[in-house]
Amino acid sequence: MVLGTIDLCSCFSAALPKTEAIWVDVISDLRRIQDLIQSIHIDATLYTESDIHPRCKVTAMKCFLLELQVISLESNNTNINDTIENLLILANRSLSSNGTITESGCKECEELEEKNIKEFLQSFVHIVQMFIYTS
């Protein structure tokens, strides 16, 4: 089932513009992380932006990427760490294509509510979808 989803995402991403295709691949990695954490216990709370304003999406994404590294440290799982590393490369590549966007009036990472890993990953998928549909 997971393999079929990955194949479908690959076909779907091939038809999208380059940056949108990258974000589809990021969602695939997030789904993989969601599946992988089912088998291990990670007792981490992560700064999570659950009410993202479109004008703050780059700032929020940077916070999500920083917090993702906490999962990597807490999990001590090679599959999760490899997936996170790939996701970070993809997301940072796409963010760098946005140039040096400056967003004002956005919350700093430490001002965000701390949520469990499942809620964090759900919110992360939501923000990635914002990048796909507003590119």
- 44: phi then psi, degrees, rounded to nearest 5: -120, 145
Q: Is the pLDDT of residue 74 over 50?
A: yes
- Do 19 and 1 contact (CB within 8 A), yes or no? no
Q: Provide the percentage of residues in the chain whose pLDDT is more than 90.
A: 55
Residue with tokens 């701390």: 114
Q: Which residues have C-beta within 8 Å of that of residue 30, sequence separation ≥ 6?
A: 87, 121, 124, 125, 128
Q: How high is the pLDDT of residue 126?
A: 93
Q: How high is the pLDDT of residue 113?
A: 95
For residues 29-54, give the mean pLDDT. Answer: 90
Point out the least confidently predicted range of 46-50, 71-75, 111-115, 131-135: 131-135
The full set of domains in the chain, from first to last, is: 18-98+107-134 (1.20.1250.70)
Structure-token pair, residue 50: 């659950």
CA separation for the pair 84, 69 (Å, rounded): 8
Q: How high is the pLDDT of residue 38?
A: 86
